[in-house]
Amino acid sequence: MPFLSETLARVKPSPTVAVTQLAAELKAQGRDVIGLGAGEPDFDTPDNIKAAAIAAIEAGKTKYTAPDGIIELKQAICDKFKRENGLGYVPSQVSVSTGGKQVLFNALLATLNPGDEVIIPAPYWVSYPDMVRLGQGEPVIVEGERQLGYKITPAALEAAITPKTKWFIFNSPSNPTGAGYNRDELKALTDVLMRHPHVWVMTDDMYEHLAYDGFDFVTPAQIEPGLYDRTLTVNGVSKAYAMTGWRIGYAAGPEHLIAAMRKLQSQSTTNPSTISQWAAVEALNGPQDFLAERCDAFLRRRDLVVAGLNACPGIDCATPEGAFYVYPSIADCIGKTSAGGALIENDEAFAKALLEEEGVAVVFGAAFGLSPNFRVSYATSDAALTEACARIKRFCEGLR
């Protein structure tokens, strides 16, 4: 009998976390590596948020809290949903966890039975399918259209729905493509969902505040109030407030689902860090003006990276609406051999050779379920991005 569980054998370690770790290890060994793997802002957490955490420690707010969050944070989350998304929730409809990742994990584990299907548009964030598998469910992958910036069509969504479909996972702006669904595009998807009342919506809105060129962020329950009773709206402070390490994610949805998620969390991690919760209260209730400044910096970097990558032979990079990722196609690089002698048989080989030969860490497309591509996180300095693009160009020019 194998010691490890059969469930665990169905999943792999997170590739985004693995690439980030590898880049850090190589740097620690003295290698000159530019890390474009990690999906985290390089900006610091704003000072008012840090001060709120310090004040919480000094006030002795360092004990357990209710498993799914303090009432002050739940109220701040309700206020945020009302103010920014026009969605009305009360604190008993809110769950706070250790990052958006735990929110999603809780929701899937709390609801899936063996064989339940979960529709996931590809390319997808690496963890969605494996979380579904950990919950004994079956991921059903719907591929995005390249000419639509890898967004899916309503017809493709409708074709994937079966009587076993439990959830549709939606993510806009997207990790890994940065693509955002506008009002009309999202309404067309919610129209499909209105025809299938047994399908629930899990919307991962983590990149809401990272949107460019006037992109108008919308979330499913806002655009289609008829979905409110079967939507879990997930968000967090990690990306917008540069708080990845604080580990605070949250969601709002129907009370019976939130209660089930609370039960699960009470038997696993109990509450997310008390200090981080107080910091998140300040993030949501405090000044928001720095968001626009940071978006300006991300916009500049996006344009720098898109231009830099499109100057590389064999790379085709679309200009996305949001997040801090681009997801270029490398179809014209496949089958070639690098200057260092590596056969580029797929996007994993491309990313490996790029790291070994030029010291640039990116995440290969197969990890996100759509190839041949790679993901660049441009949440790093302009200087590092300029140097990385020069190295990627040299690497592509060396392909024969």
Omega within 30 of 0 (cis) for the link into 163: no
> What's the closest the beta carbon of residue 104 comes to ligand GLU, in angstroms?
10
Binding region for ligand GLU (CB under 6 A) out of 11-19, 24-32, 140-148, 275-283: 11-19
Q: Is residue 17 involved in binding ligand GLU (CB under 6 A)?
A: yes
User: CB-wise, 14 or 319, nearer to ligand GLU?
Assistant: 14
Site string for ligand GLU, 288-327 (x = CB under 6 A): ----------------------------------------
Contacting residue, 45, 175, 222, 235, with ligand GLU by CB under 6 A: 175
| Residue 366 interacts with ligand GLU (CB under 6 A): yes or no | no
Residue 247, interface with ligand GLU (CB under 6 A)? no
Using the rule CB under 6 A, is 280 a contact of ligand GLU? no
214: number of Cβ within 10 Å: 6
**Contact characters 23-42, ligand GLU, x per CB under 6 A:** ---------------xx---
Tell me how far apart the alpha carbons of residues 274 and 132 are, in angstroms, rounded to a whole number: 28
Helix (H, G, I), strand (E, B) or coil at 117: strand
Q: Is 98 exposed, middle or buried (0-12, 13-18, 19+ CB in 10 A)?
A: buried
Min CB(363)–ligand GLU separation in Å: 7
Q: Which is nearer to ligand GLU, 45 or 93 (CB)?
A: 45
By the rule CB under 6 A, 151 interacts with ligand GLU: no
Strands (E), 286-359: 325-326
Cα 274 to its chain centre, rounded Å, is 24
User: Is the separation of the CB atoms in 71 and 93 below 8 Å?
Assistant: no
> Does 101 participate in binding ligand GLU (rule CB under 6 A)?
yes
Q: What is the CA radius of gyration of the chain?
A: 21
Binding flag, residue 16, ligand GLU (CB under 6 A): yes
Give the shortest CB-124-to-ligand GLU separation in angstroms: 11
Calculate ∠ Cα 92-240-221, nearest 5°: 45
* Number of neighbouring beta carbons within 10 Å of residue 288: 16
Q: How far apart are CA 18 and CA 108, in angstroms?
A: 23
By CB under 6 A, how many residues form the interface with ligand GLU? Answer: 10
